[in-house]
Chains A and B, each alone.
Chain A
Amino acid sequence: DAGVIQSPRHEVTEMGQEVTLRCKPISGHNSLFWYRQTMMRGLELLIYFNNNVPIDDSGMPEDRFSAKMPNASFSTLKIQPSEPRDSAVYFCASRRGTGTYEQYFGPGTRLTVT
Chain B
Amino acid sequence: TQLLEQSPQFLSIQEGENLTVYCNSSSVFSSLQWYRQEPGEGPVLLVTVVTGGEVKKLKRLTFQFGDARKDSSLHITAAQPGDTGLYLCAGAKSGAGSYQLTFGKGTKLSVIP
CB distance from B38 to the nearest CB of A (A): 10
Instruction: Please state if A42 and B105 are interface contacts (CB–CB under 8 Å).
Output: yes
Confirm or deny: A34 has a beta carbon within 8 angstroms of a beta carbon on chain B. no
CB distance from A15 to the nearest CB of B (A): 25
Chain B positions 30 through 55: 1 when the CB is less than 8 Å from some CB of chain A, otherwise 0 = 01010000001111110010000000
Confirm or deny: A54 has a beta carbon within 8 angstroms of a beta carbon on chain B. no
Instruction: Please state if A45 and B101 are interface contacts (CB–CB under 8 Å).
Output: yes
Q: Which residues of B contact A75 (CB under 8 A)?
A: none
- Report the count of interface residues on B (CB-CB < 8 A): 20
Main secondary structure of the interface of B (DSSP, over half): loop
Instruction: Please state if B100 and A102 are interface contacts (CB–CB under 8 Å).
Output: no
Q: What size tier do the contact residues of chain A reach?
A: 20 to 34
Main secondary structure of the interface of A (DSSP, over half): strand
Instruction: Please state if A103 and B106 are interface contacts (CB–CB under 8 Å).
Output: no
CB distance from A93 to the nearest CB of B (A): 7
Instruction: Please state if B99 and A43 are interface contacts (CB–CB under 8 Å).
Output: no
Q: Which residues of A contact B98 (CB under 8 A)?
A: 98, 101
Chain A positions 28 through 41: 1 when the CB is less than 8 Å from some CB of chain B, otherwise 0 = 00010000000001
Q: Which residues of A contact B43 (CB under 8 A)?
A: 43, 91, 105
Confirm or deny: B88 has a beta carbon within 8 angstroms of a beta carbon on chain A. yes
Confirm or deny: A108 has a beta carbon within 8 angstroms of a beta carbon on chain B. yes
Partner-A contacts on B (CB < 8 A): 31, 33, 40-45, 48, 88, 92, 97-101, 103-106
**Knowing that A31-B99, A108-B41 are A-B contacts, what are 10 other residue pairs whose CB atoms are under 8 Å apart, sorted by A's residue number?**
A4-B42, A43-B88, A45-B101, A48-B100, A50-B99, A56-B97, A101-B101, A105-B42, A105-B43, A105-B44
